[in-house]
Structure 1
Amino acid sequence: MVNGTIRYWAAAKAAAGVAEEPYAAATLAEVLDGARERHPGELVRVLMRCSFLVDGDPVGTRGHETVRLAEGGTVEVLPPFAGG
């Protein structure tokens, strides 16, 4: 298990009620499970539509349980943005 920061943007930030918070997890799946437990309700729905960056790299279609995290890393939660 490693420690890092999860950052919420736009609708995810509004649903979580915080801009960022610490995590202790080994994979992206564990980080997201923790976020769902801490913020039940709207954030659970928002996360289903989000994309994610781990230390600046897009996760894309990789399984969240396969995305390993580094000590001191950052997970960015990016909901769909309007515009173009």
Structure 2
Amino acid sequence: MVTGTIRYWAAAKEAAGIAEEPFEAATLGELIAEVTRSRSELAKVIRRSSFLVDGDPVGKRDHATVELRRGSTVEVLPPFAGG
């Protein structure tokens, strides 16, 4: 298991109730499962969100295949309104 930081932006921050928190997870899929386990509103936002891992976009890759490294920073970016 690796440790890092997950940062929430906009609607994800509101749903999580915090801007960031530490995590322990080996993959992005594991991390998402952990942070949404008891947060149904956050789970709804995350389903619509995109992610950056250490500044790199995850895109459409399967979250279970996105490996995290010790000290990784995961950014949760919900859809933004406007242009």
Query: What is the distance in 1 between the residues matched to 2:43 and 2:25?
Result: 18
Percent identical across equivalent pairs? 66
Q: With structure 2 as the length reference, what TM-score do the two structures score?
A: 0.97
Which residue does 1:43 correspond to in 2?
A: 42
Which residue does 1:64 correspond to in 2?
A: 63
Structure 1 ranges of 4+ moved more than 6 A: none
1:6 and 2:38 matched: no
Give runs of aligned pairs for residues 23-38 of structure 1, distance below 5 A: 23-37=23-37
- Superposition deviation, residue 83 in structure 1: 1.2
Which residue does 1:19 correspond to in 2?
A: 19
> Pairwise CA RMSD of aligned residues?
0.7
Report the secondary structure of 1:70's partner residue. Answer: coil
Aligned residues: 83
Unaligned 5+ segments in structure 1 are none
Q: With structure 1 as the length reference, what TM-score do the two structures score?
A: 0.96
Which residue does 1:73 correspond to in 2?
A: 72
